[in-house]
Structure 1
Amino acid sequence: MLILTGLALSAVTPPHLTFTPLFVAPPVLAAPVMSFRGTLYTGLAAMLAAALLVFTGRAAVTGQEIVTFLTVFTVSGLALLINRVVAQRDQWVASARGVAEIVQRSVVPEPPGRAGPLLVAARYRAAQRDTLIGGDLYAVRETPFGVRLLVGDVRGKGLGATEMVSVILGTFREAAEYEEELGTLCTRLQAAVDREKRARGAIDPQEEFATALVVEVPRAPPHELRLINLGHPPPLLLPGGGPAHYLEVTDPQLPLGLMDLSGWTGCPQTFAFPPGAQLLLYTDGVSEARDGRGVFFDPAYALDAETFRGPEELLDRLVTEVLRYTGGRLNDDMALLAVARPTGNHGG
């Protein structure tokens, strides 16, 4: 369109007027968004149009027309070079993103679809960044004491955050099997984070921490769960037939890595978790998602009065609602873990 406009204007205006930008712009605009062949064809079209100005329509060829053709020729060559550079960059970004995804999944693997009496589902949704590996984590372990769940968020991104995630998950997988008390399990996690900070030589230890939720669903009735909140967004309980509500503990603790700064009680709080209910654990990529006005997303409001056939459907709906709310743009990664107690299971 720009090329045709340039030809039309050149045909109806005096010879001293130049419309070189209309011939130069198309190959430059095509370079970062079109294929090499598309950029080449656009450049050839622009050069053909410039050549028409030189060899047709005039009684005598002017120096201005020759300069226009040479300018279009040079810019078209530069556009092809830009196209190659952009294509190589895109290939590198895609490769790096693929490696990051593999690393993320190896460090934070998908949990099994069932643990004890519970149905389990998990999602990890990365924000729209190129290659940074996030610090969000989740884990599910079926232990002699019941099903134990962990969701956390390490401060920071990149390799350092991934190393801390690996340390926390490794400690959780081992300690969850042997530590009878949930508070002692959290103490083990705190000790592991402190060791990692000392080994890494943290410049400011108070700047390295991880928020977390540690949950235990006992095997035997009554149907309940035990929860310790270490500076993390509260979990959401969907009771199945009643309003969704957050499980707010009366004694929240500081995050892992900072627990020694407060009076650590190690006492979990107990909540009802009846058959038919589902529990949603998430990181702040959900609770801090914002719409165009800057208003935070509220999972309880988005999912209230909804009935889901299982945790997979619940997480699918949650991801859809968050993306709809934010216009498809995430400011932070989302790690989601949902468990459901089927109505047909009365044991433990």
Structure 2
Amino acid sequence: MLGFIGLGGVVETAYLPALRRLLPAGVPLWGFDADPARQLAGIERLPTQDALLAKPLAALFITTPPASHWTVLRQALASPVPCILVEKPLVATLAEIDALQSTLADGHDRGRVLALDHWAVRVEGIRDLLDSLPPECRQAAHGPLARIEGYLEEPSGLDELGVPCALNFATGAPDRRQLRHPDGVVLDTGTHVLALLRECMALLGQALDLQLTLATMNDRRDVPIAPGDHQTAEGRASLQGRLGGVPVSIRLDKYAGVAGGRKGLTLYGEQGWQLSLDRQGDEDRIVWQQGAQRVSLRRPGAIYGHALAEVLGVSGGLDAAQRQAMTARRLEEVRLLLQLQQDWRGEPT
């Protein structure tokens, strides 16, 4: 029995289609949303959050807007639910990070919470490709790195006024929300890229320490956002620094036009090899190249489908120690992104 607090678009377009493919027919799905108008076919809506938390849930998904994640999570931790999965970003302020880390230091709650960033599971495609490489190439992939690139450049369109307009990631329909700070690419999409990069480094046995600076931050019209601007939502940003001591550059762009679509990473090895992961259509494409040697792999299916299969135990599952380690990494990443955002813009009002 699974529960959802928050019945918005991500549940309708991403979670439900994945769960229908993964779970046997008849598995109960329960939900609650503060907006009484939100009801989704396939989820039995309960009248209150307390009524949902009183159910014998195997897992609870917190899929509310990020600003309410911490409030909802505190209430969920007071319930007996054994596994609580929180959509990214796990929390929305630096103070909430401090409070959550203090809470998770408790032995009872340690391992119950998973910061669910579905991009983290994409490293399984990289693992599959590495396993298919000749031994000498596989050994080289665990060697020194020269540099790292991460990117999330989303396709976009134009609204009726000719202004760049974001597109819904699942449906391709125009996203007409009028975003304001702190919404935007630094936290909203930066979390995806950092989760992928660091889980990949963990897979390769590389160091995970992270230092980043925010090099550029522009709005959706590509106009630079002035320091101290508390209102305008970010449309594009670039970050630079080091990951595990290796130079890293990250490009985030929610308005990359019809030519947009790069979603992944490229690693460059000191021995001349290159490993890339990108998203094309409904599949991940992973490519290893070293000189004339090229090995590629396709991993079809929605990213959410792969992520939910892993966290719900359909394809292995995560134990409490793994949930704890992944959540700690996601908290470190969100703290850094929030600090960079706040240093540039000041605290959101």
Q: TM-score normalised by the shorter chain: which range applies?
A: under 0.3
- Structure with the higher helix share, 1 or 2: 1
- What TM-score, normalized by structure 2, do the two folds share? 0.24
**Which is higher, the Rg of structure 1 or of structure 2?**
1
- What TM-score, normalized by structure 1, do the two folds share? 0.24
- Structure with the higher strand share, 1 or 2: 2
Q: Which has the higher contact order (CA 8 A, sep 6+)?
A: 2
